[in-house]
């Protein structure tokens, strides 16, 4: 690894926080151990995950998308594992591009491992508050089959929803029922999620309004999960008999997460859109030798 300092930024979307590593030409090799060290909240910078910013043409997993999206979001979970997508991460990624002059207010295409995601950066507010960012999250897949989520001695039926990454969603009476979500709940059958899954617990707050807690695969409990909020909205709408394809108009839910609030809409064609804030809170640099000592 080069002896040059490595630049980073820190940002969050509804308190789902990320270390952002600008690596436009794709020259850095970040091992899982190095990512985990950056995300360590005591010995590192601290985050739920890492967003590496790479030109699509410079990354083998994104070159096929380079004609449509100049930038690729190389997302890693807090434990260093590679993930397909991160809904809050896409908004923070878009905010980074806007901050450094690589994107402007309006529409933006971003390449991810789950395909191209299209974002819209709204105008800043009159007081200078950064405008919310809306991201097209693609279509939800609803695999068939019964799912059960277990915490301690209790279990609940769950809905299997895939938003480019997997989710198991259970509706409960009280969010405290989920217990300590730093430990992954047991999800069965395991064959439904061969690569593991995110798990959401959901309660009702009012008409078209729910609240959730989430255990993110590879990160533990987080303050927010964008793809999880989308999956929860779709599961809640199906439970409530509100399928946009049958109704012929979009369906919108407010989804409260521990870190804030997201607004999720599903359109009659099945596409899901997520709107929420994204904030860059700091930037700096670190010595690469610090990462070189990360072994694992």
Is residue 227 part of an annotated ligand binding site? Answer: yes
Q: What is the mean pLDDT of residues 10-26?
A: 96
Residue 244 host element (H or E):
helix 244-247
- Over the stretch 28-82, which tens digit does the pLDDT of each residue have? 989 999 999 999 999 999 999 999 999 999 999 999 999 999 999 999 999 999 9
Is residue 198 part of an annotated ligand binding site? Answer: yes
Is residue 217 part of an annotated ligand binding site? Answer: yes
CA separation for the pair 167, 142 (Å, rounded): 10
What is the pLDDT, as a whole number, of residue 291?
A: 82
Name every residue whose Cβ is closer than 8 Å to that of residue 119 and which is 6 or more positions away in sequence.
Answer: 90, 91, 94, 107, 108, 109, 110, 133, 134, 135, 136
190 has a pLDDT exceeding 60: yes
Closest CA to 262 of 127, 86, 132, 97: 132
Bridge partners of residue 252, in order along the sequence: 265
Is residue 88 part of an annotated ligand binding site? Answer: yes
296 has a pLDDT exceeding 80: no
1 has a pLDDT exceeding 50: no
Is residue 223 part of an annotated ligand binding site? Answer: no
Annotated active-site residue 86? The verdict is yes
Radius of gyration of the chain (CA): 19
- Over the stretch 230-277, which tens digit does the pLDDT of each residue have? 999 999 999 999 999 999 999 999 999 999 999 999 999 999 999 999
Give the lowest-confidence range in 32-36, 84-88, 108-112, 232-236.
84-88
Is residue 165 part of an annotated ligand binding site? Answer: yes
CA separation for the pair 99, 122 (Å, rounded): 14
For each of the domains in the chain, give its residue range(s) and CATH number, in order of start.
Answer: 6-132+279-292 (3.10.310.10), 147-276 (3.10.310.10)
Torsion of CA 137, 141, 142, 145, to 10 degrees: -130
What is the pLDDT, as a whole number, of residue 4?
A: 82
Using a pLDDT cut of 70, give the percent of the chain over it: 98
CA separation for the pair 251, 48 (Å, rounded): 30
Q: Which of 53, 97, 133, 225 is catalytic?
A: 225
pTM value is 0.89
- Identify the sign of the CA torsion 94, 254, 188, 154: positive
Using 50, 70 and 90 to split pLDDT, how confident is the model at 192?
A: very high
Annotated active-site residue 225? The verdict is yes
Q: Which of 86, 103, 147, 272 is catalytic?
A: 86
Using 50, 70 and 90 to split pLDDT, how confident is the model at 129?
A: confident
């Amino acid at each position: 690894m080069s002896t040059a300092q490595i630049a980073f930024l820190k940002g969050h979307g509804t308190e789902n926080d990320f270390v952002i590593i600008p690596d436009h030409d794709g020259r850095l090799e970040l091992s899982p151990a190095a990512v985990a060290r950056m995300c360590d909240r005591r010995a590192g910078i601290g985050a739920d995950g890492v967003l590496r910013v790479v030109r699509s043409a410079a990354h083998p997993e994104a070159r096929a998308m380079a004609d449509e999206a100049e930038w690729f979001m190389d997302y890693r979970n807090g434990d260093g594992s590679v993930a397909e997508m991160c809904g809050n991460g896409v908004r923070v990624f878009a905010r980074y591009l806007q901050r450094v002059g690589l994107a402007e207010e309006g529409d933006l295409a971003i390449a991810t491992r789950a395909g191209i995601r299209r974002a819209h950066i709204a105008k800043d507010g009159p007081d200078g508050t950064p405008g919310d960012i809306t991201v097209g999250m693609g279509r939800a897949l609803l695999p068939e089959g019964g799912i059960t989520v277990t915490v301690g001695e209790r279990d609940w039926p769950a809905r299997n929803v895939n938003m480019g990454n997997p989710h198991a969603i259970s509706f409960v009476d009280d969010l405290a029922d989920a217990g300590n979500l730093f430990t992954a709940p047991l999800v069965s059958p395991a064959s439904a999620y061969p690569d593991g899954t995110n798990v959401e617990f959901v309660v009702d707050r009012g008409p078209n309004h729910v609240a959730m807690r989430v255990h993110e695969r590879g990160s533990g409990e987080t303050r927010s999960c964008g793809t999880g909020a989308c999956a929860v909205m779709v599961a809640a709408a199906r439970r409530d008999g509100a399928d946009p394809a049958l109704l012929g108009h979009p369906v919108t839910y407010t989804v409260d997460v521990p870190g804030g609030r997201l607004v999720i809409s599903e359109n009659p064609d099945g596409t899901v859109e997520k709107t929420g804030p994204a904030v860059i809170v700091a930037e700096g640099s670190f010595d690469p030798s610090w990462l070189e000592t990360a072994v694992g």
